[in-house]
Amino acid sequence: MQSVVAPNSLSSENPVLRVENLRKHYGLVHAVKDISFHVCAGEIVGLLGVNGAGKTTTISMILGVLEPTAGSIHIGSVDLLRHRSRALSSTSFAAVYAALPGNLTVYENLRVFALLYGVRDFPARLQSVLDAFDLHKFRNTKCGILSSGEQTRVGLAKAMLNRPRVLLLDEPTASIDPASARDIRSTICSFAASTQTGVLWTSHNMFEVEEVCSRVLFLSHGEIILSGDPRTLPAQYGKSTLEELFISVAREPFDLGALQS
């Protein structure tokens, strides 16, 4: 599959997602430490880091599940903290660990979420997402008896129902076979490009990140310590692949100077 990435000319003046000076503290534990970044329309940005780096906490704050200790989050021009419902109506999320109710059919799950999102043209949107993820044959199947890959596709179909301005994906292809993962990546890239949706994508699969992301942000201990084009960033730090750079960032203690030497 040919990679689909956002063009280099994307402007940061009017991003669909803007995070500024975001912090999350749990007592003396600082899970996220004063991070700032943006995602533009049609852009796929990778949020990378080892387990515990702060990725899921950051996504949870963007989704309004966790309240930040400090900082701001804007979906388009809407302040999430002041206008939560309006901001989240333009946001969506998918992850393999966020399974849909297993006792409902594919159609029933999508119908429920269409009502929650306020999707007015549900029949057309249903047809579109069933087509995109090859789900027509499972329309009346209960989600609980689907395979993990099929459930992942239903979750992504749900996430695209409301044509979100911002799509948050947490390990969207984890535990999926390579062929299905390739198809899912292609569908997400096409969706982002055609609808100008901004995507924030977490993954531990560096091949996947290089293929789909135009920029990456490396989180370590709640801080963004590196950012750039995943295809050129490794060479800037003396590494041949993004995976080598990821491993170096994961080592303790992290020494940026040593990487550059």
pLDDT digits (tens, 9 = 90+) for 74-132: 999 999 999 999 998 899 999 888 889 999 999 999 999 999 988 989 999 999 999 99
pLDDT beyond 80 at 251: no
Q: Which CATH class is domain 17-90+166-260?
A: alpha beta
Instruction: Report the alpha-carbon distance of residue 36 to residue 22 in Å, rounded.
Output: 6
Higher pLDDT, residue 216 or 261: 216
pLDDT at 3: 37
- CA 229/CA 81 separation, integer angstroms: 30
Rounded Cα distance, 199 and 166, in Å = 6
Mean pLDDT of the chain: 89
Tally: H helices and E strands in the chain: 10, 10
Position 200 pLDDT exceeds 80: yes
At residue 166's C-alpha, the angle toward residues 114 and 157, to 5°, is: 40
Which pLDDT value is given to residue 6? Answer: 39
52-67 pLDDT, tens digit each: 899 999 999 999 999 9
Task: Tell me how far apart the alpha carbons of residues 175 and 90 are, in angstroms, rounded to a whole number.
Answer: 28
Model confidence at 142, in pLDDT bands (50, 70, 90)?
Answer: very high
Phi/psi at 228 (5° precision) = 155, -170
Write the DSSP string, 39-73. E-TT-EEEEE--TTSSHHHHHHHHTTSS--SEEEE
Domain definitions of the chain by residue range: 17-90+166-260, 99-163
Position with higher pLDDT, 96 vs 33: 33
172-187: average pLDDT: 88
The model's confidence at residue 9, banded by pLDDT at 50, 70 and 90, is very low
Give the per-residue pLDDT at 11.
Answer: 47
pLDDT greater than 90 at residue 213 = yes
